[in-house]
Amino acid sequence: MSQQVTALKRGQLRNARNEKLFPFHQSDAAMIYELRVYTAMPGRLADVLARFRDHTVDIWNRLGIRQLGYWTTAIGPDSNALTYMLVWDSMANREAKWGEFVIDPEWVRVRTASEASGPIVAKMDSSFLTPTSFSPLK
């Protein structure tokens, strides 16, 4: 499933055309993994990385948002991107914690300051992944 998710409504994932992708039941997987890719504005990847390194990671740690890892592309179609994964207990857990994050006063201040000279992220893609029965990660 490569469609960008744009909204979460009543426990349903919806794509950019607001079509229901599938009903999500917690029993379907032990954990939910969120794969996020931030494509930086030209010349601004260093600013995206600095914002995560210097601020976002600490804010997420304070809020209990679990991070699996962060990557930049060494070889591939886009070397101007930050890719990372978050781990959630459930979609309700994700909605609650993400809701806290986006209104967190420190985050609002950091985001505003980091974008004072213009946006640093050109595009953001998010996918919610569930492990297969044979996946080492559950």
Cβ burial of 42 (10 Å; 0-12, 13-18, 19+) is: exposed
Which residue would you say has higher pLDDT here, 12 or 31?
Answer: 31
Cβ atoms of 71 and 49 within 8 Å: the answer is no
The answer to which of 60-64, 88-92, 131-135 has the lowest mean pLDDT is 131-135
Asked if residue 135 belongs to a domain, the reply is no
pLDDT at 87: 95
Asked if residue 138 belongs to a domain, the reply is no
Asked if residue 43 belongs to a domain, the reply is yes
User: Range of 13's domain?
Assistant: 5-129
For residue 137, what pLDDT band results from cuts at 50, 70 and 90?
Answer: confident
> Does residue 38 carry a pLDDT above 90?
yes
Cβ-count burial 55-83 (b if 16+ within 10 Å, e if not): bbeebbeeeebeeeeeebeeeeeeebbbb
For residue 131, what pLDDT band results from cuts at 50, 70 and 90?
Answer: confident
How many CA atoms lie less than 13 Å away from 17 in the CB half-sphere? 4
Asked if residue 136 belongs to a domain, the reply is no
The C-alpha atoms of residue 26 and residue 137 are separated, in whole angstroms, by 16
Residue 94 belongs to domain with CATH number: 3.30.70.100
Asked if residue 27 belongs to a domain, the reply is yes
Highest mean pLDDT pick, 26-30, 53-57, 132-136: 53-57
pTM: 0.77
Q: What is the identity of the amino acid at 46?
A: A
Q: How many domains does the chain have?
A: 1
Asked if residue 134 belongs to a domain, the reply is no
